[in-house]
Structure 1
Amino acid sequence: MRNAILRAAQTPILLAFISVSAFATDVPRSGDPVFDRVITLVNSEFHDENALDRFNAAAKKEIESAVPALSTTGSTARVDAAIETALASLQASHNGRFKSDTIAYFELSDIFRFAIRDDLRRLFPPDGEVNYAGIGMVTQLIGDARFVTDVYDGSPAAKAGIVMGDEILAVDGKPYREIASFQGKVGQSVDVRLRRKADAALTSIKVAVERLRPLPTFEKAIKDSVAVSERDGRKIGYVRFWTLSTRDGLDIAARELSTGRLSNVDGLVVDLRGRWGGGAADAAELFVGDTPSFRLIPRRGKDTLANVRWRGPVVALVDEGTRSGLELFAYALKINGIPLVGERTAGALLAGRAYTLPDNSLLEIAVSDAVIDDNVRLEGNGVAPDIRVALPVAYAAGRDPQREAAVTEMIRLLADGTSDRIVTPRQPSLTR
């Protein structure tokens, strides 16, 4: 039924602000200001006090194993590794440290801009607008090679023809670096050397470097992801939610569904294979809400969309990138009978907050748990897809078998006459 209700944390995921009152009595100290600030913040802010003894023991072990102590090693790498090990001992999502040589640092700085608002002008002079030089792609090491995992829709990388699965060898003749490869090159083009197939010769692609603002980049990617294809005489719409943290991401989709490119499709594929979560807990209401759609029609000027609800058939795409608010979104769709295609979601549903460390790196801490009706916890469990489809990234050449499977499932639903979406809610399996 459409009115299957999902209750979770009432604050937006990733934007909760609380403080744990109890403080562990045996807090280790290393003398390194960054390491010690991490230890202090985790002890005062991490939501689960029961995990602090384990965390402090791990931190103390890291201090003792450093020869000499962390404060005098002069090794940034050693401090980085010690922080990573200590945070891992929490055994929870939404805990991590991010440095300014990574795309994640800039994207999370924009997502958490309110939490670090006092530092924004100092970190991103002169106006505090988070930005970086880039081309709009994300990569990952698979074995000893680096492959493109995401290309933001409408980005310079997408326009140049870079696709998921490309092996990246170099940028302007030097090893690829997420940030350094493009610094000082805004308005210029870089030469990206890549290999599309394992046995193929190297290819060079010229890509324009732009000044990217993370949240506007995500909004543009959501808008530019919208597509309509035709299969068996049916129009299948598609939209990808890269994150729910943007101000207008859901509104972009709503406008496309109401009066835009998706207004006349027979069915819709909603892609929740995101980069970050975020967003309000009721984001799925666009597809499963009971309230009616309506517009405000003035005497002059354009109509205003006051409430949009998509009533047609939906298939959703999920994978390990479906986390936090997007994971909650996926769960809401599933209990309302909407089929999920892809891989199990991340099992990362907590509320986090960001803090600036003494070296200007960013620390994310899980400050609140998230529990759904009937005491369901997605953290550590995730949501299983109804139709499991793997997506091998290396040398994929842009082929997306998960998306193809979702379209096939939509055609099946339309052929079966289930476009009225009268479904029976069901409890998804949360076992691994």
Structure 2
Amino acid sequence: MKTLTSLAVTAWLTLTAPHSLADEPPRSGQLVFDRAVELVIGHYHDTSALERFGAVVKQEIAVAPIRADTPRIRVNEAIDRVLASLGASHTGRFQPDTIAYFELADIFRFAIRNDLRRLFPPDGEVSYPGIGMIVQPANGALFVSDVYDGSPAARAGMLVGDEVLSVDGAPYHEIASFRDKIGRSVDMRIRRSAGAQPVTIKIAVERLRPLRTFEKAIEDSVTVSERNGKRIGYVRLWTLSAPDGLDIVARELADGRLKDADGLVVDLRGRWGGGPSDAAELLVGDTPTFRLIQRDGEATLANMRWRRPVIAIIDEGARSGLELFAYALKTNGIPLVGARTAGALLAGRAYLLPDDSLLEVAVSDAVIGDDVRLEGRGVEPDIPVAFSLPYAAGRDPQRDAALEQMGRILTGG
């Protein structure tokens, strides 16, 4: 969710003036649908697209009239179609029965600050019951696509590529499968290889706070491996939206587990973007590492710059601020391994709809330099490596290729 400077995070600061259409789409009388249309017309960054958008809205209303009593599934489908007609990133609707809803609510917490205590009582802290993994459909089944480092799913041994069959004997649902089960364990039935007998894994359910979960995942992703006498560090940037995410990496590079690494593999295959536009300067900037030292000798890291070899891993999970990070690395000669990034580089802002679903609207275009746009294009890897999700059993050819390439760089091979 993940943004010109912080794409998914600071875009809520962009308050665009409402636009008007000569022939404004008619109102349907359905509050959620009409409000979604109104917000797009009032805030979408490209006014030239609004005439086409309005035509799609009219078509949706005409084909099967939308009224106050229209079934929710029909309203949902209509909203999805009119938003899809814009063909833009950072534009979509997110329902409270999805992990993305909670993660984006935390990322855009300032934009919805007046509703946080109502939505997430009693303290307004965004959280959800979960185990720290993401699934996606493929070939008519559900497969684990991400396991957050340090999460209950990771501790239980869930692997990317596992086919998810059921949770406590019922079909898997991102939120509903774990609701009212915090502090307990669930039995997740999975299949690890095609045609294999299912196995059951017991996983603890926790109350997950999205941005804190990402910070923990970044911290717990750090590893150091040795190849031919050289130490290769690895860290995964799940998002740049977590307040302490980059600081965690900087501390690990300056004084932590990555301090003595000869080379670094930074994994940009994240969930959401966000973050500052100059985030990549941590690895390619010209300013020196800088510390503030108090009279008692205690030092505070103020600025960190890594000066040793770097390789980055990218795929469609590198979007928004992470995509800008990848572009900055590539233009500085850092090799990129994996697959093309998402091509999702607009600035989004979040709005609550009357049913408390979350609407993200692309409120600003994003241009790098004078005329470079990554929206719809993405960043291509220097070393393409394919990845097949179903039954991967935790194998990661993109990471393996990055480590192998770093080994060659460090040994001159």
Q: TM-score, normalised by structure 2?
A: 0.97
SS of 1:31 mapped into structure 2: coil
Q: Is the 8 A contact 2:8 2:107 kept in 1?
A: no
Query: Amino acid of the residue matched to residue 18 of structure 1?
Result: L
Could you tell me how far 1:374 is from its partner in structure 2? Answer: 3.2
The answer for the alignment partner of 1:349 in structure 2 is: 345
- Distance in 2, matches of 1:414 and 1:28, equals 63
Distance 2:297 2:353 in 1: 49
Name the CA distance, whole Å, in 2 between partners of 1:169 and 1:133: 19
| Contact 1:160–1:205 (Cα < 8 Å) also in 2 | yes
1:224-263 alignment, distance < 5 Å: 224-263=220-259
SS at match of 2:124: coil
Matched residue, 1:19: 16
Contact kept? 1:277, 1:322, Cα under 8 Å: yes
CA distance in 1, matches of 2:19, 2:68: 31
Match of 1:62 in 2: 60
How far the C-alpha of 1:251 sits from its partner, in A, is 0.4
Q: Which residue does the alignment assign to 1:280? A: 276
- Whole-angstrom CA distance in 2 between matches of 1:59 and 1:235: 57
Give the match for residue 374 of structure 1.
370
CA gap of 1:175–1:13, structure 2 versus 1, over 3 A, is: closer
Secondary structure of the residue aligned to 1:71 is: coil
2:318 to 317, 322, 341: 322
C-alpha separation in 1, matches of 2:141 and 2:297: 54
Q: Contact 2:315 / 2:341 at 8 angstroms: preserved in 1?
A: yes
Aligned to 1:421: none
SS at match of 1:146: strand
Tell me how far apart the structure 1 counterparts of residues 398 and 193 of structure 2 sit (CA, whole Å): 20
Mean CA deviation greater in 348-357 or 298-307 = 298-307
Q: Structure 1: where are the runs of 5+ without partners?
A: 1-7, 418-432
For residues 195-230 of structure 1, give each alpha carbon's deviation from its aligned partner in whole angstroms, at most 9, with x where no partner exists: 000021100000000000000000000000000111
Deviations 1:126-174 (A, max 9, x none): 1110000000000001021000000000000000000100000000000
Measure the CA separation in 2 of the matches of 1:300 and 1:198: 61
In 2, the alpha carbon distance for the partners of 1:121 and 1:165 equals 37
Match of 1:52 in 2: 50
Retained in 2: the 8 A contact 1:191–1:205?
Answer: yes
Residue number in structure 2 paired with 1:165: 161
Q: Structure 1 residue 291 and structure 2 residue 287: aligned? A: yes
Secondary structure of 1:180's aligned partner: coil
Q: 1:11 to 1:175 in 2, by over 3 A?
A: closer
Partner of 1:424: none
Query: Contact 1:18/1:368 (CA < 8 Å) preserved in 2?
Result: no
Q: 1:190 maps to which residue?
A: 186
Listed one character per residue, the Cα deviations across residues 328-349 of structure 1 (whole Å, up to 9, x for unaligned) are 0000000000000000000000
Instruction: Indicate the SS of the match to 1:201.
Output: coil
Equivalent residue for 1:127, pick from 109, 123, 143 = 123
What is the CA distance between 1:12 and its match in structure 2? 4.9
Q: Percent identity?
A: 66
Instruction: Give 2:154's aligned amino acid.
Output: A
Q: Deviations over 1:406-431 (max 9, x none)?
A: 001101111228xxxxxxxxxxxxxx
Distance in 1 separating the partners of 2:32 and 2:106? 22
* Structure 2 counterparts to residues 146-225 of structure 1, below 5 A: 146-225=142-221
Q: Does 1:140 align with 2:128?
A: no
Consecutive unaligned residues of structure 2, counting only runs of 5 or more, are none
1:9 to 4, 13, 20: 4
Which is further off, 21-30 or 191-200? 21-30
State how far apart, in whole Å, the 1-side matches of 2:98 and 2:44 are.
24
Residue-pair matches, total: 408
